Amino acid sequence: VPPDEIRAVLAALKEGRLSPQEAEALLLGAVPVAAGAINLDIVREGRTGTPEVVYGATKSAEQVVEALARLAASETAALATGLDDAKGTAVVRAMPAASWFPTAGVVVAKARPERRGGIAVVSAGTSDGRVASEAAVVAEALGNAVLRIDDVGVAGLHRLMARITEIRACRVVIVVAGMDGALPGVLGGLVAAPVVAVPTSVGYGTGLGGLAAMLTMLNACSPGVAVVNIDNGFGAAVHASLINRAGP
């Protein structure tokens, strides 16, 4: 609860426009939680610019449906990630208006209208597809135009160069890569937009489940690159969306 909000609440209380009980609730920002219910943070969008997104991997389809319904009632977007085929189809059966993106493992129950600017989602290999899809679907649901480019890894640079003008037209670039994770650093030297790098767990042996790619990205020679957790297409989409939608 920041100072100016506190000031406003205190003034209203002093002037009798609020009871002490109402003032306290506002100051705490607390939302009563029914016993046994999921503790959804349904005021997150106002606070952080992004609504809570349901992480479906550890929830039942019923819990996902309930959570999406509650979020759709109060926020500008409602979506769930980390769903397998069984859960995804069960959710859209219960919510016919929702969309199910099986490649991404994402259900979108309510999407923001597209606004402006644009996010490129670029991936190095076909095996990085699920993570790139998650990033792209989440970014679109959060109201961003998305340019999707796949399979342009550094072993054949001409494939990347053939698309570079399109990428340069975007305001943010999400780059998804496993194995050596070299693509974000190369792209960071070719574009003037901030690069958000997503290492994937694609690879074997010394790939160490994505750690090798992550280290490459953190040590990229190009200084505009920032990194999110391994396979975290969702987190990259949120960071990129905040960038794309910021400013006048």
Min dist. Cβ of residue 97 to a copy of itself (A)? 25
* Amino acid (1-letter code) at residue 20: P
| Residue with smaller CB distance to a copy of itself, 97 or 193 | 193
> Of 88 and 203, which CB lies nearer to a copy of itself in the complex structure?
203
**DSSP secondary structure letters along 172-225:** EEEEEE-TT--HHHHHHTT-SS-EEEEE-S---GGGGGGHHHHHHHHT-SSTTE
**Nearest to a copy of itself of 88, 235 (CB atom):** 235
Q: Shortest gap between Cβ of 98 and a copy of itself (angstroms)?
A: 21
- CA pair distance 242, 119, nearest whole angstrom: 11
CB of 181 to a copy of itself, least distance (A): 7
Distance CA 42, CA 13 (A): 25
CB of 169 to a copy of itself, least distance (A): 10
Cα dist. 196→23, 114, 234 in Å? Answer: 41, 21, 12
Query: Which residue type does 54 have?
Result: V
To a copy of itself, the closest distance from the beta carbon of 125 in angstroms equals: 7
C-beta of residue 132 within 8 angstroms of C-beta of residue 148: yes
Residue closer to a copy of itself, measured from CB, 30 or 93: 30
Q: Which of 160, 155, 158, 156 is nearest to 175 (CA)?
A: 160
Nearer to a copy of itself, 41 or 93 (CB): 41
Question: Cβ 210 to a copy of itself, closest distance in Å?
Answer: 6
CB of 11 to a copy of itself, least distance (A): 6
Q: Which is nearer to a copy of itself, 88 or 181 (CB)?
A: 181
* CA neighbours closer than 13 Å in the CB half-sphere of residue 127: 12
In the complex with a copy of itself, the residue whose CB is nearer, 97 or 115, is: 115
